[in-house]
Amino acid sequence: MLIQSAFRFSYIWKSITFDFRFGRISLFLLACFLTSACLVFWRLPTVRRFHPPSPRPASPKKAFIISAQDMGITQKEWDRLQKACDWPSPDGEITRLDQSTSPVHTTFSVKGLNETYKVGDTIRVTITARDHNNTVKSYGGDFFRAKLLNLTLKAGVYGEVVDHRNGTYTVDFLLPWEGQAQADVFLIISSEGVHVLNKYFESKPHIRYHGYFEGPGPDGVKIVEKVECNVKWGSAQGLWSKANCCCEYEDVQTGSVWQCERPQNLSCDYWVYHEHGEHQFPATPFERQLFSSQLTNVGIAGEKHIINVLPNASGIGEPERCRRGLSTPVPAGFYFQDVWKSFVCNTRRFNSQQMTSCLSNKIVYFLGDSTIRQYFEFFEKNVPGTSFNG
């Protein structure tokens, strides 16, 4: 709104010419202009100012150039986001594979295990990360996934992993169902692997895009040229170092720039569309070893104690009615008998007929990434007779 108002003011100002020598100015137009300008400036203070974030540059010191004001959020929210995004790194440069976290030597244990528990109780699991020499790690940053399971009951719940930055991690599990449970911990990526991912994520784009330009060639025949494209990244020239290398298309709202190599025979005005290209991962041979199947997404050894959970009259409380604005706890819910049960609110299950009735004569917009696409495809499959576009 602010940008639109300012643009309107600039346009009006340039559109009116003042030629006092010949007396051509219209008093009526001048009065309209002054009235419009007053209205614009009267409305400007009431518009909530939102500053889109600037791109985060690659920096060895990880210095943030974005502030809470840039994001349009409070300082408290900004501090919380910074804490959530902070991820420990290795103390120094890793040059040997045996210095990385080993899923074979890393273990977990259940602390203070009781014979029985009640629904709603919690247990604590401690993870100790070790390298391939069976030495306890001195820093954190490993990506673990921890959960409680009961395959017979088709039940499962995730736990939040807390990194103590000294090679040890703790996981507090809520016990939400009656019956038995076992802890299961996976090393998804070692801290050294995470460090490599961060290094390339902050310095190079990881997906290559192709741009297509279509237009008349030298002899008037239509030609199509395919070039490499991506978001303008890093230095002033972006992906390509030589001057006048590229066609640039700026998003006026965010300030981000889409950049394509300049076609050989067509001008930048003939850009038509782009498509997803191949993934690129410029890691060294040593760095690639950190992502081998033997070292990633591997279950680690631990105490496979059976945890016995008894019923509890008070249970874990009855969730409130679902509505917008509710906070999301960790975990947000659990599976029992292959059915999701939310800790956020009292969710309902709908069969195909109920879904069809609920969505009848309604337009639903799905906005998101591949995760929301799964939801979209679920409705395509389970709500017959519905028209979908996507």
Q: What is the model's pTM? A: 0.68
Least confident of 142-151, 168-177, 234-243, 344-353: 234-243
Give the pLDDT of residue 360.
87
CA neighbours within 13 Å on the CB side: how many for 283?
20
Q: Last residue of a domain, which of 279, 306, 324?
A: 279
Q: Is the pLDDT of residue 261 over 80?
A: yes
For residue 13, name the pLDDT band (cuts at 50, 70, 90): very low
Give the pLDDT of residue 299.
97
Q: Is the pLDDT of residue 298 over 80?
A: yes
Q: Is the pLDDT of residue 9 over 50?
A: no
Q: Are residues 300 and 192 in the same domain?
A: yes
Q: Is the pLDDT of residue 35 over 70?
A: no
Is 58 within a domain? no
Q: Are residues 303 and 156 in the same domain?
A: yes
More confident residue, 180 or 47: 180
Is 127 within a domain? yes
Residue 309 phi, psi (nearest 5):
-115, 120
| Pairing mode of beta strands 207-216, 271-279 | antiparallel
Average pLDDT for 289-306: 94
Q: Last residue of a domain, which of 221, 245, 279?
A: 279
Residue 112: left (phi > 0), alpha (psi -120 to 50), or beta?
Answer: left
The residue written with tokens 């390339």 in the block is: 200
More confident residue, 229 or 43: 229
Q: Looking at the 3D structure of the chain, how many domains does it have?
A: 4
Neighbouring residues of 349: CB distance < 8 A, sequence distance ≥ 6 = 339
Is 74 within a domain? no
Least confident of 25-29, 190-194, 255-259: 25-29
What burial class does residue 304 get, using C-beta atoms within 10 Å of its C-beta: 0-12 exposed, 13-18 middle, 19+ buried? exposed
Give the pLDDT of residue 256.
83
Give the pLDDT of residue 208.
85
Give the pLDDT of residue 222.
93
Give the pLDDT of residue 390.
64
More confident residue, 85 or 276: 276
Q: Are residues 109 and 175 in the same domain?
A: yes
Q: Is the pLDDT of residue 277 over 80?
A: yes
Average pLDDT for 298-323: 88
Q: Are residues 342 and 367 in the same domain?
A: no
For residue 294, name the pLDDT band (cuts at 50, 70, 90): very high
Q: Last residue of a domain, which of 279, 295, 313?
A: 279
Measured between alpha carbons, how far is 156 from 175 in angstroms, rounded to an integer? 10
The residue written with tokens 């009065």 in the block is: 31
Q: Is the pLDDT of residue 1 over 50?
A: no
Is 84 within a domain? no
For residue 11, name the pLDDT band (cuts at 50, 70, 90): very low
Measured between alpha carbons, how far is 370 from 376 in angstroms, rounded to an integer? 10
Average pLDDT for 2-27: 38
Average pLDDT for 314-330: 84
Q: Is the pLDDT of residue 386 over 80?
A: no
Q: Is the pLDDT of residue 289 over 90?
A: yes
Q: Are residues 286 and 184 in the same domain?
A: yes
Average pLDDT for 303-311: 92
Q: Are residues 252 and 383 in the same domain?
A: no
The residue written with tokens 């030495």 in the block is: 135
Q: Is the pLDDT of residue 117 over 90?
A: yes
Measured between alpha carbons, how far is 356 from 382 in angstroms, rounded to an integer? 9
For residue 238, name the pLDDT band (cuts at 50, 70, 90): low
For residue 269, name the pLDDT band (cuts at 50, 70, 90): very high
Average pLDDT for 201-208: 75
What are residue 170's DSSP bridge partners?
126, 162
Q: Are residues 111 and 23 in the same domain?
A: no
- Give SS3 for 352: helix
Q: Kindly report the CA angle at 286 between 281 and 289, in degrees rounded to 5?
A: 75
Average pLDDT, the chain: 80
Look up the domain containing 39 and give its range.
2-46
